[in-house]
Structure formats: C-alpha cells, structure tokens
C-alpha cells in the first residue's frame, strides 16, 4: 500500500441516465485533475428518483453503468468504484450492485447490497427498497490491492450494521467504501456519526461518496460525501452541492493509529 489521493464524488442524480453519466464524468475528470487515483461514485450514480422508471429501464441502466465505469477507469487510468446501480436478476427485481473496476477497465470485484432500506420515517416518507430490489446473499468482499490497500465494499444502509464492517476488518480491510444516497432527514442526525463510528471501531479509512439535493418531488439526499481517517477525523467533506471530497490515504497514519489503539487485537468475542 502506497500513499495516494482518493476522491469521494458527490452527485445530484436524477431520473435521467445520460445526464447523470455526464455529470459523473465531469466530476471524475475534476478528481483526476486534482491527483486522485482512486475515485468513488455514490449509490444510484446513474439513475435516481423514480422507481417505476428505473425498473422499466433496468437492463439499459445496468449495461450503460457497467460500460461507463470500465470506459472511465481505462480512459483516466484510475481505479473506480460505482457505488450502486440496478442489475436485473430475472425475478422481476434487481440487485443493488456496487462494482470496482481497475485501470485497464477490468472488473475487480462486485457486491450486491444485503441490507435493504424498508423504513417509515418521522417526516412522513416511506421507503420500501425490497419492493424492487433483491437482497444479496453474500457477505461483502475484500479486494486486496498492492497500491491502495485492502478495500472493503458496502452500500448505504449497510452502515447501520456494524457486524458487516467487523467482518471486513477481520478479513483485513484497511479502507472501507460506504457509497450512499442517504436521505436528508436521516442524514442530518446519523450520517456523520455512523461513518465515524465505522472508521474508529475498525481503525480503517472510510471513503463515503454521496448523493445530494432533490431527485424528484419526494426524494432528497443529505450530501456531505466524506473521507475519514482511522482515528475518525474528517479529512474532506463535499458539503451540500455536487463536487468531490479529496484526501490522502496514508499507510503510515493507518499503522500509527493501529499501533496506538490496537483495539482489533483486543476483541474478546469473535
């Protein structure tokens, strides 16, 4: 693992595939021009805001999303995370799939989101992700990278389930991806504290790309794409508008925190 710059991209995705991919490309370009070698896009980067339209176009969205990720990674010679897009399952539902692509456009690893967002919020909004999404059945994977460290995948609502991240840390994770489309209502109280907790308890870097703003008449996202160090310090925050959060991932910092706070070695119940 070397020292490198990572970027957590913040989008305002809409129910418009072409516009979303154009916005994502602009921000990937911005991140690369600032030196980022590992670039992460949020959940629903290619389509967000209308579930019926998403399901009607799911096959086209899946194909375009995967082609886009592989093309961008190869064009810019970066490792690129697509934090979540629909992949048809043949059951009438889709997997919410995160895909990590290498600099030659090759698929490195994929993860199908296991925890689905079925909630009734105090602001009156109801979300039933399981109506259209089939939960993944496999624990999230680790991608070992000599350049970027051991990379652990997850998606959005997963952040509320610490056992998933304990699994990743036990597998050797050093960097945790938490791409999201966190609601504005829950995000104002829970987003930052949950991300910091996952970083602190696992002594890992956290890279959390995010959605922001309004996606349709009902859905609004919190924003604040962040990169957090293993001590829980926020290194970069994209705020409330589309943009990028860029910070250095330093192996020496990871080693320092794990040496001074060796909590992973002190676990009693495993």
Cite the active site residues.
Answer: 43, 113, 156
Contact 223, 240 (CB under 8 A): yes
Q: What is the dihedral of CA 163, 168, 170, 172, to 10 degrees?
A: -160
Nearest-angstrom CA–CA distance, 6 and 40: 8
Q: What tokens does 1 get?
A: 């693992």
Task: Identify the three-state secondary structure at position 120.
Answer: strand
Q: How many CB atoms are located within 10 Å of the residue 172 CB?
A: 11
Nearest-angstrom CA–CA distance, 133 and 113: 9
b/e 254-270 (16+ beta carbons within 10 angstroms → b)? beebbeeeeeeeeeeee
Angle subtended by helix axes 184-202 and 162-170, to nearest 10: 30
Backbone angles phi, psi at 236, to 5 degrees: -155, 145
């Amino acid at each position: 693992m070397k020292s490198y710059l990572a970027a957590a991209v913040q989008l305002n995705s809409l129910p418009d595939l072409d516009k979303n991919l154009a916005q994502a490309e602009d921000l990937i370009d911005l991140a690369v021009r600032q030196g980022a070698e590992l670039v992460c896009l949020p959940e629903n980067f290619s389509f967000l805001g209308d579930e019926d339209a998403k399901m009607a176009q799911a096959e086209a969205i899946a194909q375009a999303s995967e082609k886009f990720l592989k093309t961008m990674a190869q064009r810019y010679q970066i490792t690129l995370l697509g934090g979540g897009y629909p992949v048809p399952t043949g059951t009438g539902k889709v997997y919410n799939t995160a895909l990590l692509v290498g600099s030659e456009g090759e698929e490195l690893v994929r993860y199908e989101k296991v925890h689905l967002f079925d909630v009734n919020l105090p602001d009156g909004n109801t979300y039933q992700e399981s109506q259209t999404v089939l939960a993944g059945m496999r624990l999230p994977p680790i991608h070992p990278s000599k350049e970027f460290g051991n990379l652990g995948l997850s998606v959005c609502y997963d952040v509320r389930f610490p056992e998933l991240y304990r699994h990743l840390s036990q597998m050797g994770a050093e960097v945790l991806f938490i791409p999201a489309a966190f609601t504005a209502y829950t995000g104002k109280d829970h987003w930052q504290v949950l991300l910091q907790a996952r970083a602190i308890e696992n002594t890992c870097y956290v890279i959390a790309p995010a959605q922001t703003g309004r996606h349709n008449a009902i859905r609004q996202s919190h924003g604040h794409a962040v990169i957090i160090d293993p001590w829980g310090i926020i290194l970069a925050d994209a705020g409330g508008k589309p943009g990028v959060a860029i910070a250095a991932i330093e192996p020496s910092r990871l080693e320092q925190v794990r040496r001074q706070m060796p909590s992973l070695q002190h676990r009693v119940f495993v």
